Amino acid sequence: MNIIVCVKRVPETAEADLVIDKTGRDVIKSGLVFDLNEWDSYAIEEAIRLKEKKEGHVTVISMGGEEANESLRKCLAMGADDAVRLTDPAFEGADGYATAKVLAESIGKLPFDLILTGTQAEDDGYGQVGGALAELLGIPHATVVNQIEVEGKKLKVHRELEGGLEEILEIDLPALLTIQTGINEPRYVSIMGIRKVAKKEIKVLGAKDLTLVANETGLSGSDTRIEKISFPPTTGAVKMIEGNPEEVALNVLNILKNKGGLA
C-alpha cells in the first residue's frame, strides 16, 4: 500500500510568552521551539504501522521553507521511506484552501492508496486541509479518525464524535483520512535516529514543478486573510492567589471549605 502523509512544522506555544510582531498579523517566531504538529505525529505513526503490518511505502510531504526539513527528517527517522518538501515564495501566506491546492498538485503526480493528515494543526487550527485535499483529488475522506482496519480494497474506520460516541464507516480506497490524537502511541525518535537519516535526500518542488499559476497559491490564492491578531480579551473575573506554596495551599483549602468542597 502506498501511503502519503502530509505534515506541518509548528511552533510550540502552550507555555511560550507570545509577542505580536510589527505586521500585527502574526507572532514573533524567533525564540519559539518548533516541532512536528502533534496530530501529524499520530498520522505518520499510523502510516508506518500500516506499512509494517501489510508492507508498503510511506511518503511524507510538507509545505514550508528549509526549516521544514527538520520535521521531515523526524518522520524519516520514524520509518517513512521518502520525503518531499514543497517550497516557493508564491506559497507563502496560504490559508487552508491554498495549502490544499499545492498539496493536491504534488500528490496528483504520485501513486497512492491512502493519504493521511492530522485532523488539524496546532497553530492555525483550520481543520480544513484534509477535507479540501480529498475533494480536489476526487477521493472519499473521513475526518477525526481514531481507528483504522484495512479490509482489502476498503477500510473500516472509527470517527471520534462528541461525548464519547464514535461512528464506524466503511470507505473505499483510495481515500484520505484525517487522524485524531490518541489513535496510537507515536514512537520515540532518538538523536541517533535523526542522524541516521541526515543524508537522506529530501525532494524539493516549487510552483514551476507543480504547474500552478501564481495567483492560485499563497495569500493571493487564499479564500481568507488575517487582518490583524490580538490577545483574547481578559474576563477579569479570576482572582489570583499569590504567595509561597504553603500560603497558596492554605488559601486554596479555605476556598474549598467555603465553597462546600470540604466538610
Task: Considering only residues 118 through 177, tell me which ones interact with another protein, judged by CB under 8 A.
Answer: 119, 122-132, 134-136, 139-144, 156, 158-172, 175
Nearer to another protein, 52 or 167 (CB): 167
CB within 8 Å of 37: residues ≥ 6 apart? 7, 8, 9, 10, 71, 118, 121, 122, 123
Please give the full DSSP string across 44-90, using - where no structure is assigned: HHHHHHHHHHH--EEEEEEESSGGGHHHHHHHHHHT-SEEEEE--GG
Q: Is 224 in the site for another protein (CB under 8 A)?
A: yes
The least distance separating another protein from the CB of residue 207, rounded to whole angstroms, comes to: 19
Which range in 1-9, 69-77, 78-86, 226-234 contacts another protein by CB under 8 A? 226-234
Sign of the CA dihedral 101, 105, 106, 111? positive
- Minimum Å gap between C-beta 197 and another protein is 25
Does residue 188 interact with another protein by CB under 8 A? no
Of the candidates 22, 199, 208, 239, which one interacts with another protein according to CB under 8 A?
239
Name which of 198 and 253 has its Cβ closer to another protein.
253
Site string for another protein, 244-263 (x = CB under 8 A): -xx-xxx-xx-xx--xxxxx
Considering only residues 59 through 98, tell me which ones interact with another protein, judged by CB under 8 A: 96-97
Minimum Å distance from CB 252 to another protein?
6
Q: Which three cell numbers stand for residue 202?
A: 529530501
Which H or E run includes 254?
A: helix 245-258
From CA 83, how far away is CA 68, in angstroms rounded? 11
Residues in the chain: 263
Q: How far is the CB of 189 from another protein (least distance, A)?
A: 16
**Residue with Cβ nearer another protein (55 or 138):** 138
Among 194, 50, 162, 186, CA closest to 113: 50
Near another protein in 8-47, by CB under 8 A: 11, 13-15, 17-18, 20, 25, 27
Number of alpha carbons in the 13 Å side-chain half-sphere of residue 184 = 20
